[in-house]
Every structure is written in structure tokens, then in C-alpha cells.
Amino acid sequence: MSELNKIALKIVSNGKGILAADESTGTMSKRLESVNVPSTSDNRLLFRETLFSSESMKNCIGGVILYDETIKQKTSSGKTISEIISSSGAIPGIKVDTGAKVFASSPKEKITEGLDGLRERLKEYYELGARFTKWRSVFNISGEYPSKLSIDANSHALARYSALVQECKMVPIVEPEVLMDGNHSAEDCYKKTSNVIKKCFEELMLYNIDLSGIILKPNMILSGTNSDKKISNEKVAKLTLKCLEENVPKNVPGIAFLSGGQTEIQATENLNLINKYNKTNFIMTFSYGRALQQSALKYWSKDIKDLEGTKKIFNHRANMNSLAAVGKWSAELEKK
């Protein structure tokens, strides 16, 4: 077992998942302003530090993805954010892409940037305590999209990123997100997601990536947000499993789903069903941002000094997703 494989398994094993707290300052500002909290550096740190010091971090969270600002911050106790996370047994991680920009060769699509200077940034993040990283590529669905050009270019970037990350002794999270936006059917999502994931792994293998030392972060197979062809949660689970079983090499240790615009309950319920039907050897867990934080953020916004109450709300959501990661969640547990 390689060191990278050990790190990947520690992040996703035993019902643990990933807290995606890597919102950029701009995105975090929108989240805070939406609940009428001023987006100051101190407030962003206070909310995140509250989550990172919650009880559920020990049993439910295997890794936390941070943003550049956060990993460099010190807490009120003088500890670094990485130290707070590590003290709970979770592993600090870092988002390293610099965002999805307009793709010059196909202006209605996006290309993720951030490869320039990445090797040097990775060394700095390693020194700051990070042991895994994240890079997100985004693909929109319509009749002609995602184009072969976009799939090829973004998959190539994911592979180059992964090679640099593993060179620096960290685990890359590979996140090819096929977006929910649109009126496409779940069948369309299944086909396009299959094409994207298949190409991603072709590129990863071409770059000699140790697949036992990565974590895949895909979308679930869902109908588009504006589609009138909605499918049952059982169909979501079965199509998602079919897509992954057909396109993900067997030596990938873990798959941590993004929530991708689902509500908190939808994201938990779908993950639970995926694990109930899962007959593969893949660990299937969560890498949620809003679907782990939204209720806690709303509660906290009413009184930003009520840290214990905020932790309680976050603990509940983390516990629900931890149960879903082993197929033991039920709707009744939400009421307790």
C-alpha cells in the first residue's frame, strides 16, 4: 500500500467524508451576505473555525478542503487552521485551481486554469499542512455540449495537475463536474458524464498517475434543473452506479460525490441509496460544501456568537451524511 493510498483511504473510510470549505472569498462573501452577515476576514474565519472544531469532525469528516486565505489563517487560540483540523484526526486539503474561465476555443464552455506556478504553490501548501488537493473542471450539457474539445482540454489539465500533486506527495481530488443546469434528461446526463469520466481516466493513465492515490469527485446522474423529466431517487442511484462501474478503474480507492445544487436532504438521501445498491469495491462517500454547511450558516447568522448551537446543527448534518456513506440513513433520523 502506497503512502498516497493510505492518505486517500484515511479520508474516505469508515463512513467519513469530505467537508468542502474551499469557497473563494467572492463565493463566501455571497453566502454570508445572503444571510445578512458582513463578509469580513474575521467572520469567514469564525464560521469555518466553528465547524472545524465541532465534535462530528472526529467521526464523520476525514478531510477538509480549504481555500488559500483559510489555510494561512491563525485561529483565536493561536493555532493554524491545519492544526485545528489535524487535531480532530481529519486531513487538511487545499483547492489549487484558479477557477473556470471562458474557453477561448469554445466560448460557451469553460476551461479551468491554475497550472502556471502550481509546483511552487504545492510545496508551500505542503509546508502549511495540506496532504490532499482539489481541482474542479466544469462541463455544461446541451445538444452540442460538452464538446470533445472541452472534454479533452479539461481532462488533460486534470491529468497534469494530478501528476504535479503526486510528485509533491499529496493526493489529488479529480473533480470533473457535469453541471445540473439545463433541461436535459437523466439519460443525457448519464451519457455525457460517462464520456467525461472515461476521457479523464484515459489522460490520467497516459500521465502515469497512481490511481490508487487519487479520489474521484463526480456529480450524481440527475435530470437538469429545468427538466420536466424528473426521475426517482432509486433511478438516480442506479444510473450513477452504472456510470461509475463502467468508467472508473477498479484501483481507484474512493469516490466522494459533490452535491451539485441538490438540497441537503436530497444529497443525503441519494448518497444513502447509492450505498444501499453499491455492489462494487469502491468506497462511495460525500464531498459536500453547501449540503453540509447551509443549515449551520443560517442558524449562525441569527447570532454569530452562538457557536455551540451552530456546532450542533453542523454535527447533525455531518452525522446524517456519515450514515448515508454506509447506507444506514433514514428520513426518520432527520426528525430526532
Centroid of chain to Cα 23: 11
Longest CA–CA separation in the chain, Å: 53
Element housing 293 (H / E): helix 290-302
DSSP letter, residue 334: G
| Nearest alpha-carbon partner for 34 in 268, 293, 315, 225 | 293
d(CA 57, CA 119): 30
Q: 3-state SS string over 258-290?
A: CCCCCCHHHHHHHHHHHHHHCCCCCEEEEEECH
Q: The C-alpha cell of 236 is what?
A: 438516480
**Amino acid identity, residue 262?**
Q
Angle, helix 264-277 to helix 307-324, in steps of 10 degrees: 30
Q: What are the cell numbers at 281?
A: 469495491
Q: Which of 23, 175, 203, 264 is catalytic?
A: 175
Catalytic residue, candidates 49, 217, 264, 311: 217
Q: In 3-state terms, what secondary structure has residue 139?
A: strand
Active site residue 175: yes
Q: How far apart are CA 203 and CA 220, in angstroms?
A: 22
Residue 237 has a CB neighbour count (10 Å cut-off) of: 23
- Report the distance separating Cα 185 and Cα 62, nearest Å: 33
**Please, how many CA atoms are within 13 Å of residue 161, restricted to the half-sphere of its CB?**
29
Active site residue 217: yes
Nearest Cα residue to 268 out of 288, 251, 296: 288
Catalytically active residues are 175, 217
